[in-house]
Amino acid sequence: MHALAQQVRLAGGRAEVVAADVTDEAQARLAVDRAAHAFGWVDILVNNAGLTLLGPATDMTDWRGMLGGDVLGMVRTTQAALPSMGTRGIGRIVTISSVTREALELALSAIPGAGSFGDQMRHQDRRDSVRFTTMGPDTSTPVPCVAARHRIQPMSCLRPEDIAETVIFVVRQSDLISVDSLQVLSPAQVAYLDQ
C-alpha cells in the first residue's frame, strides 16, 4: 500500500495509507476520520474489505469474523462516511460484492449481504447527492479463481486493475446518473455463469 501511495505522489496526486480492521467499529470510524482530516472531506468510499473462507457453510467456524468484515464492516465505514458526504452534498459509495455466489458454497450469507446493503441504502437514504453502487466482480486474486477451479476448468479472471478502472468509471459519472448495480466479468466468466 505504501509503495502504491508513493506512485500516486510521484505522479502528482495525493495519497494517504490508513490501515484499519473494519470488524472493529472504532477502527473503521478512525480510518474514515483520518481520510477526512487528510483531504478535508470524504466524497468517495469503496467498501472492498472482506474475508473469504473456503469450504462448505456447514463446516465454517468463523462466521463472526467473515460477517463482521464482509457485512458489518461496510455498514460501519458507510455510517462513518455519510456525515462528511452530507455536509458537502456529494458522495459516491461503491460496495464490492461478488458473482461467485452461484458457484461456491462458501460465504453464502456474506456475499448477498453486500448487495442487499447497497439496495437498502439506495432506498433508505434519499439524499440526491449520495449515490450507492453495488459491483459484482470476479478478479484474478487467488481465492476466487482457486475456488472456481475446483468446480470447472481454469478460466481467465479479471485483474484487480480492471475492477479499479471500473470503480473510477462509476464514481466519475454525472450527478444525474446513478449506477445502482454492475456485474463486471470476463467472457469466460459470463459463459460459466450462463451454464
Rounded Cα distance, 5 and 3, in Å = 5
Amino acid 179 reads V
pLDDT at 187: 75
The answer to whether residue 104 is domain-embedded is: yes
Q: What is the CATH number of the domain that holds 133?
A: 3.40.50.720
The answer to whether residue 141 is domain-embedded is: yes
Q: What is the pTM of this model?
A: 0.78
**Which are the contacts of 158, defined by CB distance < 8 A and separation ≥ 6?**
137, 138, 139, 140, 184, 185, 186, 189
Burial of 105 (0-12, 13-18, 19+ CB in 10 A): middle
The answer to whether residue 16 is domain-embedded is: no
Burial 25-57 (b: 16+ CB within 10 A, else e): bebbbebbeebbeeeeebbbbbbbbbbbbeeee
Q: What is the pLDDT of residues 125-141, one digit of tens each?
A: 555 678 889 887 765 54
Total domain count for the chain? 1
pLDDT at 158: 79
Note down the domain range covering 133.
42-193
The answer to whether residue 106 is domain-embedded is: yes
The answer to whether residue 33 is domain-embedded is: no
The answer to whether residue 10 is domain-embedded is: no
The answer to whether residue 30 is domain-embedded is: no
Neighbouring CB atoms inside 10 A of 140's CB total 16
pLDDT at 165: 93
The answer to whether residue 13 is domain-embedded is: no
pLDDT at 101: 46
Burial of 162 (0-12, 13-18, 19+ CB in 10 A): middle
Question: Cell 486493475 sits at which residue?
Answer: 161
Stretches in the chain below the pLDDT threshold 70? 51-65, 68, 98-115, 118-119, 122-128, 138-156, 189-195
Give me the torsion for CA of 166, 172, 178, 183, rounded to 10°: 0
C-alpha cell at 71: 457485512
Amino acid 191 reads A
